[in-house]
Protein backbone atom coordinates (compact mmCIF):
# COMPACT_ATOMS: atom_id res chain seq x y z
CA UNK A 1 0.00 0.00 0.00
CA UNK A 2 1.18 3.50 -0.81
CA UNK A 3 0.78 6.23 1.80
CA UNK A 4 0.75 9.93 0.99
CA UNK A 5 1.57 12.41 3.74
CA UNK A 6 -0.16 15.60 2.73
CA UNK A 7 -2.06 18.72 3.63
CA UNK A 8 -5.45 19.09 1.87
CA UNK A 9 -4.70 22.63 0.67
CA UNK A 10 -1.08 22.17 -0.33
CA UNK A 11 -1.05 22.58 -4.13
CA UNK A 12 1.93 20.19 -4.45
CA UNK A 13 0.02 17.57 -2.46
CA UNK A 14 -3.06 18.08 -4.58
CA UNK A 15 -0.88 17.54 -7.65
CA UNK A 16 0.30 14.19 -6.29
CA UNK A 17 -3.26 13.18 -5.44
CA UNK A 18 -4.34 13.94 -9.00
CA UNK A 19 -1.49 11.84 -10.38
CA UNK A 20 -2.37 8.94 -8.08
CA UNK A 21 -6.01 9.13 -9.19
CA UNK A 22 -5.18 9.39 -12.90
CA UNK A 23 -2.90 6.36 -12.62
CA UNK A 24 -5.40 4.43 -10.51
CA UNK A 25 -3.02 3.90 -7.59
CA UNK A 26 -4.64 2.70 -4.38
CA UNK A 27 -3.36 4.77 -1.49
CA UNK A 28 -3.94 6.01 2.01
CA UNK A 29 -3.88 9.67 3.02
CA UNK A 30 -2.28 10.95 6.19
CA UNK A 31 -2.82 14.64 6.95
CA UNK A 32 0.38 16.31 8.02
CA UNK A 33 0.66 19.80 9.48
CA UNK A 34 4.31 20.64 8.85
CA UNK A 35 4.45 23.39 11.46
CA UNK A 36 3.82 20.77 14.16
CA UNK A 37 7.23 19.18 13.42
CA UNK A 38 5.95 15.72 14.28
CA UNK A 39 8.87 13.44 15.13
CA UNK A 40 7.62 10.47 13.11
CA UNK A 41 7.19 12.62 10.03
CA UNK A 42 10.60 14.25 10.42
CA UNK A 43 12.09 10.76 10.41
CA UNK A 44 10.66 10.39 6.89
CA UNK A 45 11.57 13.89 5.72
CA UNK A 46 13.97 15.90 7.89
CA UNK A 47 13.05 18.93 5.78
CA UNK A 48 9.61 18.81 7.35
CA UNK A 49 7.58 19.60 4.22
CA UNK A 50 4.90 17.76 2.26
CA UNK A 51 4.24 15.86 0.04
CA UNK A 52 5.95 12.63 0.97
CA UNK A 53 4.99 9.15 -0.20
CA UNK A 54 6.04 5.78 1.11
CA UNK A 55 5.19 2.49 -0.51
CA UNK A 56 5.02 -0.51 1.81
CA UNK A 57 8.34 -0.65 3.68
CA UNK A 58 10.28 1.20 1.00
CA UNK A 59 12.15 4.46 1.46
CA UNK A 60 10.21 7.74 1.53
CA UNK A 61 10.00 9.71 -1.70
CA UNK A 62 10.07 13.41 -0.87
CA UNK A 63 8.75 16.33 -2.92
CA UNK A 64 6.40 16.63 -5.88
CA UNK A 65 9.13 16.34 -8.53
CA UNK A 66 10.72 13.12 -7.26
CA UNK A 67 7.24 11.69 -6.61
CA UNK A 68 6.25 12.47 -10.20
CA UNK A 69 9.27 10.59 -11.52
CA UNK A 70 8.75 7.67 -9.12
CA UNK A 71 5.10 7.22 -10.04
CA UNK A 72 5.82 7.45 -13.75
CA UNK A 73 8.68 4.97 -13.52
CA UNK A 74 6.63 2.49 -11.49
CA UNK A 75 3.22 2.99 -13.13
CA UNK A 76 3.53 5.12 -16.24
CA UNK A 77 4.62 2.42 -18.68
CA UNK A 78 1.46 0.42 -18.03
CA UNK A 79 -0.83 3.35 -18.81
CA UNK A 80 -0.61 3.26 -22.61
CA UNK A 81 -1.95 6.47 -24.14
CA UNK A 82 -3.04 7.61 -20.66
CA UNK A 83 0.56 7.99 -19.57
CA UNK A 84 1.16 11.52 -18.29
CA UNK A 85 4.77 11.60 -19.50
CA UNK A 86 5.11 12.47 -23.20
CA UNK A 87 6.89 10.02 -25.48
CA UNK A 88 9.34 12.31 -27.28
CA UNK A 89 12.34 13.78 -25.41
CA UNK A 90 11.51 17.31 -26.63
CA UNK A 91 7.95 16.99 -25.39
CA UNK A 92 9.17 15.59 -22.08
CA UNK A 93 11.49 18.56 -21.67
CA UNK A 94 8.65 21.01 -22.29
CA UNK A 95 6.39 19.15 -19.88
CA UNK A 96 9.07 19.24 -17.18
CA UNK A 97 9.67 22.95 -17.81
CA UNK A 98 6.01 23.76 -17.31
CA UNK A 99 5.65 21.39 -14.40
CA UNK A 100 8.47 23.22 -12.66
CA UNK A 101 6.93 26.57 -13.63
CA UNK A 102 3.61 25.75 -11.98
CA UNK A 103 4.88 23.88 -8.92
CA UNK A 104 7.60 26.41 -8.16
CA UNK A 105 7.29 29.78 -9.91
CA UNK A 106 3.47 29.95 -9.78
CA UNK A 107 3.54 28.58 -6.24
CA UNK A 108 6.27 30.96 -5.06
CA UNK A 109 4.84 34.09 -6.67
CA UNK A 110 1.10 33.52 -6.22
CA UNK A 111 -0.64 30.48 -4.80
CA UNK A 112 1.69 29.74 -1.91
CA UNK A 113 1.09 33.24 -0.53
CA UNK A 114 -2.69 33.06 -0.99
CA UNK A 115 -2.90 29.69 0.73
CA UNK A 116 -0.55 30.65 3.56
CA UNK A 117 -2.20 33.98 4.30
CA UNK A 118 -5.84 32.98 3.91
CA UNK A 119 -5.92 29.27 4.84
CA UNK A 120 -2.88 28.08 6.75
CA UNK A 121 -2.79 31.06 9.10
CA UNK A 122 -6.20 29.91 10.33
CA UNK A 123 -4.59 26.66 11.50
CA UNK A 124 -1.13 27.77 12.56
CA UNK A 125 -0.85 28.92 16.20
CA UNK A 126 -0.18 32.63 16.61
CA UNK A 127 3.19 31.99 18.23
CA UNK A 128 4.25 30.16 15.07
CA UNK A 129 3.09 32.84 12.65
CA UNK A 130 -0.64 32.29 12.43
CA UNK A 131 -3.22 35.03 12.62
CA UNK A 132 -4.54 37.68 10.27
CA UNK A 133 -3.40 37.80 6.63
CA UNK A 134 -0.98 40.47 5.53
CA UNK A 135 -2.69 42.73 2.99
CA UNK A 136 0.55 43.69 1.23
CA UNK A 137 1.39 40.05 0.58
CA UNK A 138 -2.09 39.40 -0.81
CA UNK A 139 -1.92 42.45 -3.09
CA UNK A 140 1.37 41.29 -4.57
CA UNK A 141 0.09 37.74 -5.08
CA UNK A 142 -3.08 39.00 -6.78
CA UNK A 143 -1.08 41.21 -9.13
CA UNK A 144 1.20 38.30 -10.01
CA UNK A 145 -1.79 36.02 -10.53
CA UNK A 146 -2.98 38.04 -13.51
CA UNK A 147 0.38 37.61 -15.26
CA UNK A 148 0.33 33.86 -14.72
CA UNK A 149 -3.28 33.58 -15.86
CA UNK A 150 -2.43 35.33 -19.11
CA UNK A 151 0.34 32.78 -19.67
CA UNK A 152 -2.02 29.86 -18.99
CA UNK A 153 -4.53 31.48 -21.35
CA UNK A 154 -1.85 31.67 -24.05
CA UNK A 155 -0.93 28.01 -23.58
CA UNK A 156 -4.60 27.03 -23.65
CA UNK A 157 -5.29 28.76 -26.96
CA UNK A 158 -2.14 27.60 -28.75
CA UNK A 159 -2.16 23.94 -27.64
CA UNK A 160 -4.66 21.17 -27.04
CA UNK A 161 -3.27 20.72 -23.52
CA UNK A 162 -0.84 22.97 -21.69
CA UNK A 163 2.35 21.19 -22.72
CA UNK A 164 1.22 19.71 -26.03
CA UNK A 165 -1.21 17.31 -27.65
CA UNK A 166 -1.85 15.08 -24.63
CA UNK A 167 -2.84 15.55 -21.04
CA UNK A 168 0.36 15.59 -19.01
CA UNK A 169 1.75 16.15 -15.54
CA UNK A 170 1.90 19.87 -16.41
CA UNK A 171 -1.90 20.09 -16.65
CA UNK A 172 -2.29 18.44 -13.26
CA UNK A 173 0.28 20.75 -11.69
CA UNK A 174 -1.40 23.89 -13.01
CA UNK A 175 -4.86 22.64 -12.08
CA UNK A 176 -3.75 21.72 -8.56
CA UNK A 177 -2.38 25.21 -8.00
CA UNK A 178 -5.47 26.88 -9.45
CA UNK A 179 -7.83 24.73 -7.41
CA UNK A 180 -6.54 26.32 -4.21
CA UNK A 181 -6.79 29.85 -5.59
CA UNK A 182 -10.25 29.07 -6.95
CA UNK A 183 -11.44 27.86 -3.54
CA UNK A 184 -10.58 31.32 -2.26
CA UNK A 185 -12.35 33.06 -5.14
CA UNK A 186 -9.11 34.70 -6.23
CA UNK A 187 -9.01 33.69 -9.91
CA UNK A 188 -10.22 36.36 -12.41
CA UNK A 189 -11.86 33.84 -14.73
CA UNK A 190 -13.68 36.49 -16.78
CA UNK A 191 -10.34 37.83 -18.01
CA UNK A 192 -9.01 34.51 -19.37
CA UNK A 193 -11.70 32.62 -21.22
CA UNK A 194 -9.38 30.02 -22.78
CA UNK A 195 -7.78 29.22 -19.43
CA UNK A 196 -11.26 28.95 -17.96
CA UNK A 197 -12.34 26.45 -20.63
CA UNK A 198 -9.19 24.38 -20.06
CA UNK A 199 -9.73 24.39 -16.29
CA UNK A 200 -13.36 23.35 -16.75
CA UNK A 201 -12.11 20.27 -18.61
CA UNK A 202 -9.68 19.53 -15.81
CA UNK A 203 -12.26 20.05 -13.08
CA UNK A 204 -14.65 17.65 -14.81
CA UNK A 205 -12.21 14.73 -14.66
CA UNK A 206 -13.04 12.00 -12.12
CA UNK A 207 -9.62 12.47 -10.50
CA UNK A 208 -10.67 15.98 -9.46
CA UNK A 209 -13.85 15.06 -7.59
CA UNK A 210 -12.31 14.33 -4.18
CA UNK A 211 -10.57 17.71 -4.16
CA UNK A 212 -13.83 19.55 -4.75
CA UNK A 213 -15.41 18.06 -1.62
CA UNK A 214 -12.79 19.47 0.75
CA UNK A 215 -13.48 22.57 2.78
CA UNK A 216 -11.70 24.86 5.20
CA UNK A 217 -13.47 25.21 8.53
CA UNK A 218 -14.86 28.72 8.84
CA UNK A 219 -13.98 29.63 5.25
CA UNK A 220 -16.59 28.59 2.67
CA UNK A 221 -15.51 27.84 -0.88
CA UNK A 222 -16.17 30.32 -3.66
CA UNK A 223 -19.21 29.87 -5.86
CA UNK A 224 -17.06 28.62 -8.77
CA UNK A 225 -15.10 26.02 -6.80
CA UNK A 226 -17.24 22.92 -7.25
CA UNK A 227 -19.33 24.24 -10.16
CA UNK A 228 -18.38 22.31 -13.29
CA UNK A 229 -20.20 24.84 -15.49
CA UNK A 230 -18.79 27.94 -13.82
Q: Is residue 134 part of a domain?
A: yes
Q: What is the pLDDT of residue 134?
A: 98
Beta bridge partners of 29: 4
Nearest-10 Cα torsion for 185, 187, 191, 192:
-130
Q: What is the pLDDT of residue 38?
A: 97
Work out the pLDDT band at 21, boundaries 50, 70, 90.
very high
Last residue of a domain, one of 44, 64, 82: 82
Q: Is residue 159 part of a domain?
A: yes
Beta bridge partners of 18: none
Find the domain containing 66 and state its range: 2-82
Residues 71 and 117 in one domain: no
Q: Is residue 12 part of a domain?
A: yes
SS (H, E, C) the chain: CEEEEECCCCHHHHHHHHHHHHCCCCEEEEECCHHHCCHHHHHHCCCCCCCEEEECCCCCEECHHHHHHHHHHHHHHHCHHHCCCCCCHHHHHHHHHHHHHHHHHHHHHHHHHHHHHHHHHHHCCHHHCCCCCCHHHHHHHHHHHHHHHHHHHHHHHHCCECCECCCCHHHHHHHHHHHHHHHCCCCCHHHCHHHHHHHHHHHCCHHHHHHHCCCECCECCCCCCCCCCC
Work out the pLDDT band at 139, boundaries 50, 70, 90.
very high
Q: Return mean pLDDT, the chain.
A: 97
Residue range 19-36: mean pLDDT, rounded: 98
Q: What is the pLDDT of residue 65?
A: 97
Residue range 18-38: mean pLDDT, rounded: 98
Beta bridge partners of 83: none
Work out the pLDDT band at 76, boundaries 50, 70, 90.
very high
- Tell me the per-residue pLDDT of 35-51, one tens digit each, with 9 for 90 and over: 999 999 999 999 999 99
Q: How many structural domains compose the chain?
A: 2
Taking the C-alpha atoms of residue 105 and residue 102, their distance in angstroms, rounded to an integer, is 6
Q: Is residue 217 part of a domain?
A: no
The better pLDDT of the pair 16, 77 is held by: 16
Work out the pLDDT band at 84, boundaries 50, 70, 90.
very high
Q: What is the pTM of this model?
A: 0.97
Residues 67 and 147 in one domain: no
Q: What is the pLDDT of residue 206?
A: 98
Residues 74 and 117 in one domain: no
Cβ neighbours of residue 5 under 8 Å, at least 6 residues apart? 30, 32, 41, 44, 45, 50, 51, 52, 53, 54
- Tell me the per-residue pLDDT of 89-116, one tens digit each, with 9 for 90 and over: 999 999 999 999 999 999 999 999 999 9
Q: Is residue 223 part of a domain?
A: no
Residue range 193-221: mean pLDDT, rounded: 97
- Where residue 221 falls (left for φ over 0; alpha for ψ -120 to 50; beta otherwise) is beta
Taking the C-alpha atoms of residue 183 and residue 171, their distance in angstroms, rounded to an integer, is 18
Q: Is residue 229 part of a domain?
A: no
Amino acid sequence: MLTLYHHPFSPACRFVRLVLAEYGVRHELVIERPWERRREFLALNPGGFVPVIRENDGPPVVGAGPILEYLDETRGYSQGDRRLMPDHPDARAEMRRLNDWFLHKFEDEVVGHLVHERILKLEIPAKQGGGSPESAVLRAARANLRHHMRYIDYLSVTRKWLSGERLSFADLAAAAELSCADYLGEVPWSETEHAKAWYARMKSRPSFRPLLTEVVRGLPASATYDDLDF
